[in-house]
Amino acid sequence: MRVGFFGLGNMGIGMVRNLLAAGHDVTVFNRTIEKARPLEKDGAKVAAHPRDLAGADVVVTMLADDAALEAAALEGSGLAPAFAAGALHLSMSTVSVALARRLTEAHARAGGVFVSAPVFGRPEAAAGAKLFIVAAGPPDAVDRCRPLLSVMGQKTFVVGDDPPVANVLKLAGNFLIAATIESMAEAFALARKSGVDAEQVLEMLTGSLFTAPFQKNYAAMIARGSHEAGGGFALELGLKDLRLVLAAADAARVPMPTASLVHNQLTAGVGRGLGALDWSALGRLAADNAGL
Amino acid sequence: MRVGFFGLGNMGIGMVRNLLAAGHDVTVFNRTIEKARPLEKDGAKVAAHPRDLAGADVVVTMLADDAALEAAALEGSGLAPAFAAGALHLSMSTVSVALARRLTEAHARAGGVFVSAPVFGRPEAAAGAKLFIVAAGPPDAVDRCRPLLSVMGQKTFVVGDDPPVANVLKLAGNFLIAATIESMAEAFALARKSGVDAEQVLEMLTGSLFTAPFQKNYAAMIARGSHEAGGGFALELGLKDLRLVLAAADAARVPMPTASLVHNQLTAGVGRGLGALDWSALGRLAADNAGL
Amino acid sequence: MRVGFFGLGNMGIGMVRNLLAAGHDVTVFNRTIEKARPLEKDGAKVAAHPRDLAGADVVVTMLADDAALEAAALEGSGLAPAFAAGALHLSMSTVSVALARRLTEAHARAGGVFVSAPVFGRPEAAAGAKLFIVAAGPPDAVDRCRPLLSVMGQKTFVVGDDPPVANVLKLAGNFLIAATIESMAEAFALARKSGVDAEQVLEMLTGSLFTAPFQKNYAAMIARGSHEAGGGFALELGLKDLRLVLAAADAARVPMPTASLVHNQLTAGVGRGLGALDWSALGRLAADNAGL
Amino acid sequence: MRVGFFGLGNMGIGMVRNLLAAGHDVTVFNRTIEKARPLEKDGAKVAAHPRDLAGADVVVTMLADDAALEAAALEGSGLAPAFAAGALHLSMSTVSVALARRLTEAHARAGGVFVSAPVFGRPEAAAGAKLFIVAAGPPDAVDRCRPLLSVMGQKTFVVGDDPPVANVLKLAGNFLIAATIESMAEAFALARKSGVDAEQVLEMLTGSLFTAPFQKNYAAMIARGSHEAGGGFALELGLKDLRLVLAAADAARVPMPTASLVHNQLTAGVGRGLGALDWSALGRLAADNAGL
């Protein structure tokens, strides 16, 4: 398939390589064009302007946040001409439910088609085609995307016809990860202050019930106090995601006290200077609040 | 080994059967002696009074709560004579850290030995010898218990020399389960009120990141609204456990805002008439608060 | 002074009467023009279109929410022509800090002047000129407004040159009221469930420390379970205000856990069907959660 | 009346002076007897042992906490002989509802009479006879105490026949104070980080709605960051009181999320090294969490 791909961050680069490896004809665009160059030797074409992605069967966006996606997809200087031509827009970023709704409506008005398909996974998972993808959109449009989704992720969950519901579930998942980190942070603070060695806590928890890979990963980071955000997910990005969770909850009139609590802890983490660390640094905040 | 076993609730009965099946010489006691009778045909001896457990190499207690264990182990009419004889007390109930501390001290004064070894697992896990056991106590005493622990559980974590730390970790684990239930309850309320089908939420969450067996179990109960506490864990017992978590946190001066939140939700659950349901009924509370 | 007044809700009507009584020349506009008619016999002129307010020395807006003020002041069909003529815009509604910021900037671009002056007080206080007014804006512009402010309120607090800070303080005040209601709701639930008569609780609390008029007012409503919103402030409007508080807190990166808690309680109040009652109905929510 | 008075802390000394000034015949006891000496010149007799308070018409206790009162009133070495003689015990300390219940029962068994009458007020209020007193007990016993209560406080609220309800209301009041401090701490953090001068916030809040003396007092301490606990109430004592609030709430099965939140903030305050400051230092915690 002819694919346009907009957004070459840590995630996007791996995803494009997997599309190319599967034989797709990929044209990429990135605001900082230097990030596109290394992909040329993998077979990607590099566009000078978003409108050059027009003509693709599917245009994928993988951008940092609402503002970037809005600028790319809804403003005149961006992808609008590409979409006006009727291309399918496959949005894979973690963005707000409200923006997904606006895109759904804008594409409908313009005669285009919109599929929302945010992903779970870190850059390594993107590179290794191990992403979990949550997709929603018109069934035939989702089907047209399958040859792409199947080579970027290990599993795709189709959760409905209405694109924004995919964003709801992606945000719900991020909330559950954040809530796990916060509760583990509290549990480790209790155990350590009660005199238990952190490694023993880690071994017991992850060797008994808390066996999901993300639990093992975050429990180890908390136990060892290793929160450098190199390959991680910065606490201030986590704060952004919790903000989106609470916006969705507020719009739907759903009390989410645990999400509020985590949002406040992340905000305090930023206030305490931990914003650039991995969001497992909630473990440090909990330890400091316990006087450890 | 000669084993005395005090407490034949849903958990204790399965544990005794596994001890008998492994060839141990088990004498049981229960306040309601009728519950002991079925074990006779499995080879158990039935004691008429707790003091008849004296003479055992190890006396196991598996009781409902602090009050029951305190009555059994610290009051004159109970096991005291058995322990005065120097027997090893292996306490496997979920009780407070403070009571574990008092027992440690009382046994030390009386010349006895105390091992604390609470367990994770439901009655089926007790029957199937699939418990996870968290043990702490003097190393040689823990070693003396191993022939029993190894036939009652699938894995034993020895977390230190000081018995009460086992209770800290058991409570920390129960807190993490409760926090998982509450956060899933909120996530499902958000998703459902946003128009996503609960089964699709369930499939997506437990098919991607949230793959630990207890997560799958509770997510399914929340998705389906099936909170009958038949084989489950009653919400009001969960409230009791969170009370113990907060007591330990308060004693150690550790803020645990998520634990406080869950404790308040469980209390509201009791106030709303859900106390006898499985504690996954936090899902119903969240749904009701969302106007679902 | 020649005054244009846009917005004749429960609050606006009393404010206009006080302006007229003080001799000001007031032209009023309201989307539902019938609400303007009764003011004619008090001396008000009734405009058929917002643009007819152009020419006034000061145009006051007193509207329901962000959407109404935005439509009135920032969209072409509204007051824009009036402001383009350089009139001073005195905004007295409770709106978001973000909208106050946008209005500040829009008026600066258009050559107009903006003063933000939200108020504390119920409709009776508006009618009786007993409002507390929190004002911010360029000092000379605030001075020009004083002949109006002094006849609408009992006291004006000038809190800075930058208009949006007035909105921050108004929202902070509403948050403090809401937090007082919630904490009193919890205190009454505790006392009642402990067997104390609600009237005795009321007498003790408001006769000792909790003597501010708003405390007496809300404590009485909670004690008596009288939450009909006739002359009150609907719980769902309170939810709107807390949303604005949290938006300001989030933008400023300030953790406000109590504000989050109250927001979640108000949301649950809406979910439980209490949205149309006075926001003191948080007392009913607390009582229900306590099983009273 | 002949009065025995046990407990000469900052509060007790002023209370005794007021009793003496009113002509009562007062015998005092304190564990550290040096604190009793200065009262001799005011006319007090100094007892060498608690049992020497026997024979008084009323024995007042004003002690630091549950442990001190329990040691004084329930253990053999303390006041028991005095009470066995049928004296009326007037307990004015802030202690747990559970201890008040135990004292009620113990005195009933011993043939004595118990009145619980905790107070609101700082040491200056005790010295100036400005305390607010919350009393509960058998009506005739409360009446016998009136000649004492009326000279120690400015107002006595009789809230029921059952002594522990007075403790419930005292704790409810302390909770409301603490919740006010926490919410003001958050409001000031929001306003300051939004660029408003703290003195202007203070003037506006306390000049409009938040006019109760304790609100003015705490708002000023937060605005000025003056939390030295000289004449104040140490944060760690506040933590103790919130612990008693939550114990009462838990026993009564009443969710008190705001009380839990404040308890956690106070615990974090202790963990962050603020425990010896006045509990208005919650303002510093909020500011630090906001990155101010």
CA distance A43 to B168: 57
CB-CB neighbors (< 8 A) of A182 in chain C: none
CA atoms within 13 A on the CB side of A66: 14
Going by their DSSP bridges, the two strands C2-6 and C58-61 should be labelled as parallel
Determine contact: B250 vs chain D, CB below 8 A: yes
The residue that leads in pLDDT, B81 or A94, is A94
> Which residue of A186, A258, A286 is in closest CB contact with B182?
A258
Backbone angles phi, psi at A60, to 5 degrees: -95, 135
CB contact under 8 A, B201 and A172: yes
10 Å CB burial of residue C98 (0-12, 13-18, 19+) is: middle
Three-state secondary structure of chain A = CEEEEECCCHHHHHHHHHHHHCCCEEEEECCCHHHCHHHHHHCCEECCCHHHHCCCCEEEECCCCHHHHHHHHHCCCCCHHHHHCCCEEEECCCCCHHHHHHHHHHHHHHCCEEEECCEECCHHHHHCCCEEEEEECCHHHHHHHHHHHHHHEEEEEECCCCCHHHHHHHHHHHHHHHHHHHHHHHHHHHHHHCCCCHHHHHHHHHHCCCCCHHHHHHHHHHHHCCCCCCCCCEHHHHHHHHHHHHHHHHHHCCCCHHHHHHHHHHHHHHHCCCCCCEHHHHHHHHHHHCCC
Instruction: Say if residues C44 and C28 touch (Cβ distance below 8 Å).
Output: yes
pLDDT score recorded for residue B263 = 98
pLDDT score recorded for residue D112 = 87
Single pTM value for the model: 0.95
* Paired residues of D113 in beta bridges: D88
Amino acid symbol at D279: W
CB-CB neighbors (< 8 A) of C183 in chain D: 175-176, 179-180, 183, 258-259
Say yes or no to pLDDT of B69 above 90: yes
CB contact under 8 A, B270 and D264: no
Determine contact: B253 vs chain D, CB below 8 A: yes
Determine contact: C255 vs chain B, CB below 8 A: no
Nearest CA in chain C to B189: C271
- Return the percentage of chain A with pLDDT > 90, whole number: 86
Residue given tokens 């945000």 in the structure block: A171
Report helix, strand or coil for C139.
helix
Determine contact: B249 vs chain A, CB below 8 A: yes
Between B and D, how many CB-CB pairs are < 8 A? Answer: 44
Backbone angles phi, psi at A134, to 5 degrees: -110, 110
Instruction: Say if residues C160 and C139 touch (Cβ distance below 8 Å).
Output: no
Instruction: Say if residues A183 and B175 touch (Cβ distance below 8 Å).
Output: yes
**Residues in CB range of C29: below 8 A, 6 or more apart:** C4, C5, C6, C36, C46, C47, C49, C50, C52, C53
Q: Considering chain A, what is the average pLDDT of its residues?
A: 94
Most confident of B104-118, B261-275, C74-88: B261-275
Helices B257-271 and D257-271 meet at what angle, rounded to 10?
Answer: 160
CB-CB neighbors (< 8 A) of C263 in chain A: 250, 260
Q: How far is A263 from chain D (nearest CA, A)?
A: 13
CA distance B114 to B165: 13
Angle subtended at Cα B265 by Cα A195 and Cα D178, rounded to the nearest 5 degrees = 75
CA distance B39 to B34: 10
Q: How far is D74 from chain C (nearest CA, A)?
A: 24
Instruction: Say if residues D4 and D59 touch (Cβ distance below 8 Å).
Output: yes
Nearest CA in chain C to D212: C212
CB-CB neighbors (< 8 A) of D270 in chain A: 291
pLDDT score recorded for residue B230 = 62
pLDDT score recorded for residue B72 = 87
Nearest CA in chain C to B292: C271
CA distance C30 to C33: 5
Residue given tokens 């958000």 in the structure block: B190
CB contact under 8 A, B255 and D261: no
Q: Of D41, D130, D170, D193, which one is the catalytic site residue?
A: D170
Mean pLDDT in residue range A76-91: 75
Say yes or no to pLDDT of D77 above 70: no
pLDDT in tens, D94-153: 999 999 999 999 998 888 899 999 999 999 999 999 999 999 999 999 999 999 999 999
Determine contact: D75 vs chain C, CB below 8 A: no
CA distance D161 to D154: 21
Classify residue A229 as left (phi > 0), alpha (psi -120 to 50) or beta.
alpha
Provide the pLDDT confidence category of residue D73 given band limits of 50, 70 and 90: confident
Determine contact: A267 vs chain C, CB below 8 A: yes
Determine contact: B207 vs chain A, CB below 8 A: yes
CB-CB neighbors (< 8 A) of C121 in chain D: none
CA distance D33 to D49: 10
pLDDT in tens for each of the 292 residues of chain C?
999 999 999 999 999 999 999 999 999 999 999 999 999 999 999 999 888 888 899 999 999 999 999 988 877 666 766 676 677 999 999 999 999 999 999 998 888 899 999 999 989 999 999 999 999 999 999 999 999 999 999 999 999 999 999 999 999 999 999 999 999 999 999 999 999 999 999 999 999 999 999 999 999 999 999 998 666 799 999 999 999 999 999 999 999 999 999 999 999 999 999 999 999 999 999 999 999 9
Between C and D, how many CB-CB pairs are < 8 A? Answer: 221
CB contact under 8 A, D165 and C196: yes
> Which residue of A255, A270, A271 is in closest CB contact with C271?
A255
pLDDT score recorded for residue A46 = 96
Determine contact: B120 vs chain A, CB below 8 A: yes
Determine contact: A263 vs chain C, CB below 8 A: yes
CB contact under 8 A, B264 and D260: yes
CB contact under 8 A, D273 and A291: yes
Q: Tell me how crowded residue B62 is: count the other CB atoms within 10 A of its CB.
A: 27
> Which residue of B132, B200, B215 is in closest CB contact with A212?
B215
CB contact under 8 A, D289 and A268: yes
Instruction: Say if residues A257 and C264 touch (Cβ distance below 8 Å).
Output: yes
Determine contact: A119 vs chain B, CB below 8 A: no
Which of A149, C165, C232 has the alpha carbon at shortest distance from D196? C165
Determine contact: D219 vs chain C, CB below 8 A: no
Determine contact: A207 vs chain B, CB below 8 A: yes
CA distance B107 to B113: 6
Nearest CA in chain A to D268: A289
Provide the pLDDT confidence category of residue A115 given band limits of 50, 70 and 90: very high
Residue given tokens 């823990």 in the structure block: B142
* Long-range contacts from C109-112, C-beta under 8 angstroms, 24+ separation: C110/C80, C110/C83, C110/C84, C111/C84, C111/C86, C112/C83, C112/C84, C112/C86, C112/C87, C112/C88
pLDDT score recorded for residue D50 = 87
Residue given tokens 């004083």 in the structure block: C146
10 Å CB burial of residue D43 (0-12, 13-18, 19+) is: middle
CB contact under 8 A, A260 and C256: no
Which of D78, D25, D70, D73 has the alpha carbon at shortest distance from D50? D78
**Residues in CB range of A14: below 8 A, 6 or more apart:** A123, A126, A127, A128
Mutate to test the interface with D, among C194, C197, C217 (most CBs of D within 10 A): C194
Which of B247, B232, B243 has the alpha carbon at shortest distance from B281? B232
pLDDT score recorded for residue D178 = 98
pLDDT in tens, A162-181: 999 999 999 999 999 999 99
Between A and C, how many CB-CB pairs are < 8 A? Answer: 44
Determine contact: B183 vs chain A, CB below 8 A: yes
CB-CB neighbors (< 8 A) of A189 in chain B: 254-256
pLDDT score recorded for residue D232 = 73
CB-CB neighbors (< 8 A) of A270 in chain D: 291
CB-CB neighbors (< 8 A) of B260 in chain D: 257, 260-261, 263-264
Tokens for B185, please give them: 């309850």
Residue B87 is classified by DSSP as P
Going by their DSSP bridges, the two strands C88-91 and C58-61 should be labelled as parallel
CA distance D249 to D267: 18
Mutate to test the interface with C, among D159, D194, D250 (most CBs of C within 10 A): D194
Report helix, strand or coil for C111.
coil
pLDDT in tens, D1-37: 999 999 999 999 999 999 999 999 999 999 999 999 9
CA distance D132 to D159: 13
- Between residues 1 and 60 of chain A, which touch chain B (CB distance below 8 Å)? none
Determine contact: C253 vs chain A, CB below 8 A: yes
Enumerate the active-site residues of B: 170
CB contact under 8 A, B213 and A211: yes
Instruction: Say if residues A166 and A117 touch (Cβ distance below 8 Å).
Output: yes
Q: Tell me how crowded residue C77 is: count the other CB atoms within 10 A of its CB.
A: 11
Enumerate the active-site residues of C: 170
Determine contact: A271 vs chain C, CB below 8 A: yes
**Residues in CB range of C273: below 8 A, 6 or more apart:** B291
Report helix, strand or coil for D261.
helix
Say yes or no to pLDDT of B151 above 70: yes
Report helix, strand or coil for D98.
helix
Mutate to test the interface with B, among D250, D282, D289 (most CBs of B within 10 A): D250
> Which residue of D208, D210, D255 is in closest CB contact with C289?
D255
Instruction: Say if residues B186 and B161 touch (Cβ distance below 8 Å).
Output: no
Determine contact: A270 vs chain D, CB below 8 A: yes
